[in-house]
């Protein structure tokens, strides 16, 4: 009987822990998001005509996106890969994209590979918030 009581107690604790976790998750999802300090920077990149060409399977592109945190959703990102990851989409073929990531700037210049936020700021003319 002692073992059965312990089992029931552990089960109840686990149920309450899972329920609590779900409630916290629901609460956080319903909170208004605060603007990231990079939102204005990323929106400036788009306003200046900067484009970020990449592929979902590219680890360099994933690291590049991670630099922007929650502001990633505003990136002027162009997906180049087909869903199966085996081919390049026509938009990137037409733009002659050969490597990922590729950043294209309003002056027509391109930079292949990962760039820092500072490099993007210098190349685009968009100011990083202090």
Q: What is the pLDDT, as a whole number, of residue 35?
A: 54
Please report the sign of the dihedral spanned by the C-alpha atoms of residue 64, residue 103, residue 53, residue 93: negative
Sheet of 102-104: strands edge to edge?
77-79, 51-54, 102-104, 110-112
Q: What is the pLDDT, as a whole number, of residue 33?
A: 44
Whole-number Å distance between alpha carbons of 35 and 91:
31
Q: Which residues contact 113 (CB under 8 A, 6 or more apart)?
A: 60, 99, 101
pLDDT tens-place string over residues 74-88? 999 999 999 999 999
- Whether 104 and 117 have beta carbons less than 8 Å apart is answered as no
Instruction: Give the residue ranges of the chain where pLDDT is below 50.
Output: 27-34
Q: What is the pLDDT, as a whole number, of residue 68?
A: 94
| C-alpha dihedral (120, 125, 128, 130), degrees to nearest 10 | 140
């Amino acid at each position: 009987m002692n073992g059965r009581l312990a089992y029931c107690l552990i089960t109840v604790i686990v149920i309450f822990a899972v329920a609590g976790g779900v409630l916290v998750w629901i609460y956080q999802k319903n909170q208004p998001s605060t603007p990231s300090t990079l939102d204005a920077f990323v929106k400036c990149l788009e306003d200046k005509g900067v484009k970020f060409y990449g592929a979902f399977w590219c680890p360099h592109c994933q690291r590049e996106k991670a630099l922007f945190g929650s502001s990633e959703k505003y990136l002027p990102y162009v997906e180049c890969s087909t869903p199966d990851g085996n081919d390049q989409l026509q938009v990137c073929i037409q733009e002659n994209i050969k490597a990922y990531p590729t950043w294209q700037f309003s002056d027509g210049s391109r930079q292949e590979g990962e760039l820092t936020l500072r490099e993007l700021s210098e190349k685009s003319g968009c100011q990083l918030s202090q």
